[in-house]
């Protein structure tokens, strides 16, 4: 009996080595209270842009955004919840409201500073909350926490907190619009500048007390419905995705260096690029019916005009958003967001490394 059990175990291990690793994860709720501070762009914006006096309010203030979960538009560029909303749930936190939302905030739970259109660089889409401005808002939160809790308790809270980032895509979008024929050396130089500015922000967060940094890396920009609509035969555009790959390699390298240089610095990178790419290319494998066209919008791939600017432009909406990977031309559905959040939270090392967010969260 013992011999057959051994052979069965050996066979299982041997077969598992022959099967290509599949990125998977599942959510398990923790028991301790840890704040979540979110920095980013439209992928993580819970509605901050609604409170901006600029053109970047975008379509997210109009139906059908928010239709699946909230039943009304919240400023999120999806039919429902975003990745940080699910991460907050996994951390047993309430949904973090937009930092700019008027009224009282419970900053002991954290805060979400993300802004649609924002970049790492201050001059990427002026009028949005750029990463440097998000950092200044975070500093304001720290001041308020110190006034409420005192220095010692605030320091402890900040050291235990998780800092979640998803930003950079807009910087590269602007670059490619301005320099469509940029050489590889010019692209590398620009990526280096973005990473350098990002590094400065991370160093400041660490100086203030942050230790646990989590990143969703840059996605396959060339495969967005919006990008795909501009290519021959609707193929993915090569250049945008190539820049994303350059960014992701540089990001992984700099975080590894920061861990050796900054006391107590721990990090996690979710491979958003390949995890989303898998769902775009093999939708049925993940329970979707469509991975290329968006649920909401107009055009060949429903790549634009979702929300119709409040009724001024015609657009189409699918009947079941959960059948689609994409909700609009550049943003995923709630169902896709849940799957991606679970991989970020509890994914295997081939998709979330060197540790996943749950392990980062539990690290003392």
Residues with a known catalytic role: 42, 328, 331
Burial of 131 (0-12, 13-18, 19+ CB in 10 A): buried
Burial of 359 (0-12, 13-18, 19+ CB in 10 A): middle
Count of all residues that appear for the chain in the document: 364
Whether the Cβ atoms of residue 130 and residue 119 lie closer than 8 Å to each other: yes
CA atoms 64, 66, 70, 75: torsion sign = negative
Both tokens of 240, joined, read 């945008």
Residue 199: how many CB atoms within 10 A of its CB?
17
d(CA 60, CA 266): 34
Name the region of 305 (left: φ>0; alpha: ψ -120 to 50; beta: rest): left
* Cα pseudo-dihedral 323, 329, 333, 337, rounded to 10: 130
d(CA 216, CA 363): 19
Residue 302 main-chain phi, psi, to 5 deg: 50, 45
CA atoms within 13 A on the CB side of 337: 27
Whether the Cβ atoms of residue 142 and residue 208 lie closer than 8 Å to each other: yes
Q: Which residue has the tokens 């590889």?
A: 184
Q: Which residue has the tokens 């011999």?
A: 3
Both tokens of 347, joined, read 């994914």
User: Looking at residue 55, what DSSP letter applies?
Assistant: G
Written as one string, the DSSP assignment of 295-345 is SEEBSTT--B-TTHHHHTS--EE-S-GGGEEESSSS-B-HHHHHHHHHHHH
CA atoms within 13 A on the CB side of 151: 1
């Amino acid at each position: 009996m013992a011999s057959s059990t051994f052979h069965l175990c050996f066979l299982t291990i041997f077969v598992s080595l022959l099967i290509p690793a599949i990125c998977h994860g599942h959510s398990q709720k923790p028991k301790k209270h840890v704040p979540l501070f979110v920095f980013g762009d439209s992928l993580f914006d819970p509605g901050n842009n609604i409170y901006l006096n600029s053109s970047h309010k975008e379509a997210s203030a109009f139906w059908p955004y928010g239709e699946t979960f909230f039943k009304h538009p919240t400023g999120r560029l999806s039919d429902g919840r975003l990745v940080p909303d699910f991460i907050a749930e996994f951390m047993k936190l309430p949904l973090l409201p937009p930092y700019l939302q008027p009224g009282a905030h419970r900053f002991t739970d954290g805060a979400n500073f993300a802004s649609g259109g924002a970049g790492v660089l201050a001059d990427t889409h002026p009028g949005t909350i750029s990463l440097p401005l998000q950092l200044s808002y975070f500093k304001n939160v720290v001041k308020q926490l110190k006034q409420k809790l005192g220095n010692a308790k605030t320091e402890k809270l900040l050291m235990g907190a998780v800092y979640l980032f998803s930003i950079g895509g807009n910087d590269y979008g602007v670059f490619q619009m301005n320099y469509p024929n940029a050489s590889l050396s010019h692209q590398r130089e620009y990526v280096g500048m973005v990473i350098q500015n990002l590094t400065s922000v991370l160093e400041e967060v660490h100086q203030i007390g942050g230790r646990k940094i989590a990143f969703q890396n840059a996605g396959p920009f060339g495969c967005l419905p919006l990008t795909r609509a501009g290519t021959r035969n609707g193929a993915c555009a090569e250049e945008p995705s190539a820049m994303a790959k350059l960014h992701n390699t540089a990001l992984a390298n700099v975080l590894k260096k920061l861990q050796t240089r900054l006391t107590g610095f721990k990090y996690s990178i979710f491979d958003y690029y390949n995890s989303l790419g898998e769902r775009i290319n093999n939708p049925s494998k993940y329970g979707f019916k469509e991975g290329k066209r968006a649920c909401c919008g107009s055009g060949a791939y429903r790549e634009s005009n979702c929300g119709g600017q409040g009724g001024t432009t015609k657009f189409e909406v699918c009947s079941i958003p959960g059948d689609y990977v994409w909700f609009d031309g550049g943003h995923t559905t709630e169902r896709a967001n849940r799957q991606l959040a679970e991989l970020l939270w509890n994914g295997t090392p081939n998709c979330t490394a060197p540790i996943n967010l749950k392990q980062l969260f539990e690290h003392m």
